[in-house]
């Protein structure tokens, strides 16, 4: 069974080293972190840094958020110079600092404005424009099907649906029936997103929704290998989990790459959460997690991981 596997855009997480690792282990399509259209319009330096990606990351999309059609069009035209495979519009982020400004999932409350944003973005660029959104703002205002039709009519070439409302954030269970309803309502490709934490859940998503692709978000945290597992499982009905030694070797590779791209102190601070995800569930992980949180350099981090592998007996795995 063939299906396209996407790495979701995750703010503060899906930087270039992590994206490249996901690509190595089977992600077909990558996406940048969520980027502010206003940040691009006002030429914010930190915003510009989020746009960087390497040729080996292709096909990769750039995800933008914003609620002003003109500013979104400007930003889309500006980032198209980076030669992304597509531009994705975020209309699903539920976080207060985003929705309180009228961005992200707040646009699901105003489909008319959302349509204008999509139309303006599509007209501004030659590359495909895609849209990611949720079930709706709240349980009483679920409008994913109508929103999907609007996105298609406005020129979106693909849509991704996370079947939770804004109010749910990431709690409860993703309602896959909504993805199936959206899939039946539009002709453009539909990607399913939400609660893909295992190869088995990926297969369930495909069977229950008929989606054209799967987007993995939280399931890839500390486990970029999930793409390989899903690929193997869809092809053969089974998969082999990487041993701790290999997993942590890749975690250290990611940390080194982060240090190569940023000042070491900043990179190590950002890498701590990734390393904590990598070791989660391993024997004795609580102790080594506490040590990692105190590390200030890559050398210290590497030593902590090396000692853990030797003490836990994982070196021979």
Task: Indicate the domain borders of the chain.
Answer: 4-236, 244-316
- pLDDT category, 317, cuts 50, 70, 90? low
Q: How far apart are CA 37 and CA 221, in angstroms?
A: 26
Query: With b meaning 16 or more CB within 10 Å and e meaning fewer, what string describes 215-239?
Result: bbbbbbbbbbbbbbbbbebbeeeeb
Mean pLDDT for all residues in the chain = 95
**Rounded mean pLDDT of 211-232?**
97
Assess contact for 15 and 52: CB atoms under 8 A. Answer: no
Answer whether residue 99 shows pLDDT above 90: yes
Q: What percent of the chain has pLDDT over 70?
A: 98
**Residues catalogued as catalytic:** 93
Backbone φ and ψ for 17, nearest 5 degrees, come out as: -60, -45
Give how far Cα 243 sits from Cα of 15, 27, 36, 313, Å.
24, 20, 39, 12
- Residue 123 tokens read as 């007209």
Answer whether residue 219 shows pLDDT above 70: yes
- pLDDT category, 249, cuts 50, 70, 90? very high
**Rounded mean pLDDT of 42-63?**
93
- Residue 28 tokens read as 């077909």
> In the chain, where does DSSP find H-type helix?
16-24, 37-41, 45-49, 69-80, 96-99, 111-124, 144-153, 176-185, 199-209, 226-236, 244-261, 264-279, 285-292, 298-312
Q: How far apart are CA 189 and CA 229, in angstroms?
A: 24
pLDDT at 1: 61
Answer whether residue 315 shows pLDDT above 80: no
Q: Is the pTM of this model over 0.85?
A: yes
Answer whether residue 140 shows pLDDT above 90: yes
Q: What percent of the chain has pLDDT over 90?
A: 91
- pLDDT category, 29, cuts 50, 70, 90? very high
Assess contact for 193 and 162: CB atoms under 8 A. Answer: yes
Chain centre distance of CA 182: 21
pLDDT at 109: 97
Answer whether residue 106 shows pLDDT above 60: yes
Q: DSSP for 46-87? A: HHHHTT---GGG-SEEEEEE-S-HHHHHHHHHHHHTT--SEE
- Overall fold of domain 4-236: TIM Barrel (3.20.20)
């Amino acid at each position: 069974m063939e299906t396209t596997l996407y790495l979701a855009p995750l703010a503060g997480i899906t930087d270039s080293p992590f994206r490249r690792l996901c690509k190595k282990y089977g992600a077909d399509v990558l996406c940048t972190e969520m980027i502010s259209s206003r940040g691009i319009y006002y030429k914010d330096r930190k915003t510009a840094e989020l746009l960087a990606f390497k040729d080996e990351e292709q096909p990769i999309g750039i995800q933008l958020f914003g609620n002003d059609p003109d500013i979104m069009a400007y930003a889309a035209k500006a980032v198209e110079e980076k030669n992304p495979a597509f531009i994705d519009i975020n209309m699903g982020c539920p976080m207060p600092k985003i929705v309180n400004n009228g961005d992200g999932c707040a646009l699901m409350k105003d489909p008319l404005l959302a349509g204008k944003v999509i139309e303006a973005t599509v007209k501004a660029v030659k590359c495909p424009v895609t849209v990611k959104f949720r079930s709706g703002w709240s349980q009483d205002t679920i409008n994913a099907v109508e929103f999907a039709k609007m996105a298609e009519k406005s020129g979106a070439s693909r849509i991704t649906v996370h079947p939770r409302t804004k109010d749910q954030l990431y709690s409860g269970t993703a309602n896959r029936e909504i993805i199936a309803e959206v899939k039946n309502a539009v002709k453009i490709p539909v990607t399913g997103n939400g609660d893909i934490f295992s190869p088995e859940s990926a297969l369930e998503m495909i069977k229950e929704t008929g989606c054209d692709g799967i987007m993995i978000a939280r399931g890839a945290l500390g486990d970029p290998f999930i793409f390989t597992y899903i690929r193997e499982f869809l092809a053969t009905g089974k998969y082999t989990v990487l041993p701790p030694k290999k997993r942590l070797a890749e975690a250290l590779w990611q940390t080194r790459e982060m240090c190569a791209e940023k000042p070491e102190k900043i990179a190590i601070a950002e890498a701590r959460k990734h390393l904590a995800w990598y070791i989660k569930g391993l024997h004795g992980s609580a102790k080594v997690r506490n040590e990692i949180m105190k590390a200030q350099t890559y050398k210290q981090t590497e030593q902590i991981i090396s000692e853990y592998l030797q003490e836990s007996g994982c070196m021979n795995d």
